[in-house]
C-alpha cells in the first residue's frame, strides 16, 4: 500500500543522497514498520488513510498508542497536531528504535549508555556469588559480549580502555571487523 501511494504521488518519502537521492518511504523489520517522509499535511493524511485501509483489508489492528511520530528538526508546533491527527504519541530525538540510538553522536560515551545499561542490568541479575570462575567466564564470553553486537555493527565505538585476555573478545577489533568497509 505504501508503494502504491508513493507511486501515485500521494506520499513523498525522504531522499537520501545528494544528487538523484534514493527515496525511502518505509522500512520493515519483523512486525515493526518505520514510515519515513517529508514534513507535510498531505503525507500525514496519506499515512492515516493507508494505516486505516491496512486495518480494514488485513483484519489486523495498528496499535496507535505504541506508534510515534517524530521530526528530526523538533518543530513541535507542527508535530503536536500531526501526532493528534494520527492518534499517536510524539517523540523527540534522540530516541531508541530497534535498540539503535537515533540521532546521537556515537563518538560520545553517552551514546553508548543504553548498551552499558543493558550489560549492567544483566550482570546484576546473575548474582555471581553462586557461579564458579569458569561459569562467570562463559556468561561473559557468550552472553555479555553478544549484547552490543547489533549496535557495534552500525556504529564505530569511541576509543577507550583496552582490556582483554582470558579469551574475552576485544571489542575494538570486533567493532572494526563488524563495520568492515564502513569504518
Q: What pLDDT does 181 receive?
A: 53
Contact 39, 29 (CB under 8 A): no
Highest mean pLDDT among 8-17, 138-147, 158-167: 8-17
The arithmetic mean of pLDDT across residues 98-120, rounded, is 79
Contact 149, 178 (CB under 8 A): yes
As a whole number of angstroms, the distance between CA 72 and CA 118 comes to 26
Task: Please give the backbone phi and psi of residue 60, each rounded to the nearest 5 degrees, phi first.
Answer: -90, 160
The arithmetic mean of pLDDT across residues 120-138, rounded, is 75
Highest mean pLDDT among 67-81, 124-138, 141-155, 166-180: 67-81
Give, rounded to a whole angstrom, the gap between the first and last alpha carbons of the chain. Answer: 36
Q: Would you call 36 helix, strand, or coil by DSSP?
A: coil
Average pLDDT over the chain reads 81
* pLDDT, greater one: 27 or 162: 27
Per-residue cell: 128: 555471581
Q: Would you call 100 helix, strand, or coil by DSSP?
A: strand
Q: What pLDDT does 128 receive?
A: 58
Q: What is this structure's pTM?
A: 0.64
As a whole number of angstroms, the distance between CA 146 and CA 143 comes to 5
Domain segments of the chain as ranges: 2-93, 102-182
Amino acid at each position: 500500500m505504501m508503494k502504491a501511494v508513493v507511486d501515485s504521488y500521494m506520499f513523498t518519502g525522504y531522499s537520501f543522497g545528494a544528487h538523484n537521492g534514493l527515496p525511502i518511504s518505509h522500512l520493515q523489520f519483523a512486525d515493526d514498520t518505520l514510515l519515513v517522509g517529508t514534513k507535510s499535511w498531505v503525507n500525514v493524511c496519506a499515512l492515516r488513510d493507508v494505516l486505516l485501509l491496512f486495518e480494514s483489508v488485513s483484519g489486523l489492528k495498528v496499535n496507535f498508542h505504541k506508534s510515534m511520530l517524530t521530526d528530526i528538526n523538533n518543530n513541535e508546533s507542527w508535530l503536536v497536531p500531526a501526532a493528534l491527527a494520527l492518534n499517536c504519541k510524539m517523540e523527540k530525538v534522540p530516541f531508541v528504535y530497534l535498540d539503535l540510538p537515533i540521532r546521537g553522536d556515537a563518538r560520545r560515551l553517552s551514546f553508548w549508555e543504553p548498551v552499558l545499561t543493558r550489560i549492567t542490568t544483566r550482570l546484576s541479575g546473575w548474582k555471581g556469588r553462586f557461579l564458579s570462575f569458569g561459569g562467570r567466564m562463559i556468561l561473559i564470553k557468550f552472553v555479555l559480549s553478544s549484547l552490543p553486537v547489533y549496535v557495534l555493527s552500525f556504529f564505530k565505538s569511541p576509543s577507550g580502555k583496552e582490556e582483554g585476555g582470558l579469551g574475552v573478545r576485544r571489542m575494538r577489533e570486533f567493532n572494526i571487523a563488524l563495520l568492515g568497509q564502513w569504518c
